[in-house]
Amino acid sequence: MKFLVTGSAGFIGYHVAKRLLEAKHDVIGVDNFNNYYDVKLKEDRSRNLSCNKKFRQLRGSIETPNFLEGVFEKFSPDIVVHLAAQAGVRFSLEQPETYIQSNIVGTFQLLEAAKNYQPKHVLLASTSSAYGANTVIPYAECHQTDHQISIYAATKKSVEALSHTYSHLYNIPITAFRFFTVYGPYGRPDMAPHKFARKILERKPIDVYNFGDMERDFTYIDDLVTAVLKLSEQVPKNGEKSVSPVAPWRVVNIGNSRPVKLLDFISTLENALGLESKRNYLPIQPGDVVATWADVSLLRELTGFVPNTDLSVGLRKFADWFRVYYGNDYR
């Protein structure tokens, strides 16, 4: 099977592509290697993938007109896993246009190419942030998602709506998945595990927002990849349960379904690193939600799988990778 993975040099895209290659699939990776965070990390991920002859790395921005059209024309992917996006809730307050271009315009370009070349299945990333101001937890796919509270979340909800329209108009099977706080080796440096680990090992204070009164549904990367690959086999069909009444389209939560208090998360990371943190308690930041919690009933029904890696196990693997990757200063 031939897969197109956009955002292949990103955290999740790298792990998805790696698993596909291990399963002997052909993988075309697309990434623009932007400098939102350290490009070296992206280059290293891509270099690891490129050791496999069944991987082809293409460099380009998905929002560039006709770029993805050309990729589809040349490679005719069977399945598309669309993970390329401008990530980060807080950065979206500083550079909102970047999110409009990458997330909305970029996805539009992908959907236009899919319309013309009709892959068997398009899978695309959304976010738990799409639930926005919804206070009913655990979050279920049937809940209202009309009140996003960050620009990042608003662009991702827009992507869901746009993809549904294309699925309806052009009969493109599409699965959108809402990720819940993914972590693990090769993770993004702007995420809490990475930021906290660096500060703890440097004996510097970590910023703890909302004075620690927050909860997150942390999802280990290997579990998330397993869920994505299993969902790739569950192609939505008109008339099926959980599928839109007018399109071969569905949305699925991917989370651990075991929310962890922020202070417990910090203590678990401290144990994994063997050091205590210094803490700087601060008010909640604009765009943040207090708690996330995934209802994964639909994921279980479709795939027979739900994420199950305990946080202590996942953070231990992350901490071990962090010390090795960043060298002697953190051993």
Pull the structure tokens for residue 154.
Answer: 């608003």
Cβ–Cβ under 8 Å, residues 112 and 55: no
Catalytic residue, chosen from 14, 36, 131, 152, is 152
Name the residue with tokens 């271009």: 101
Helix (H, G, I), strand (E, B) or coil at 281: strand
Are the C-beta atoms of residues 251 and 160 closer than 8 Å to each other?
yes
* Sequence letter at residue 212: G
Taking Cα atoms as reference points, which of 147, 227, 135 lies closest to residue 179?
227
What burial letters (b/e) apply to 232-249, b meaning 16+ CB within 10 Å? Answer: bebbbeeeeeebbeebbb
Task: Report, in angstroms and rounded to the nearest whole number, the Rg of the chain calculated over CA atoms.
Answer: 19
99 catalytic residue (yes or no): no
Amino acid at 157: K
CA distance 52 to 71: 20
Q: Which amino acid is at 161?
A: A
Is the CB of residue 153 less than 8 Å from the CB of residue 139?
no
**Active-site positions?**
152
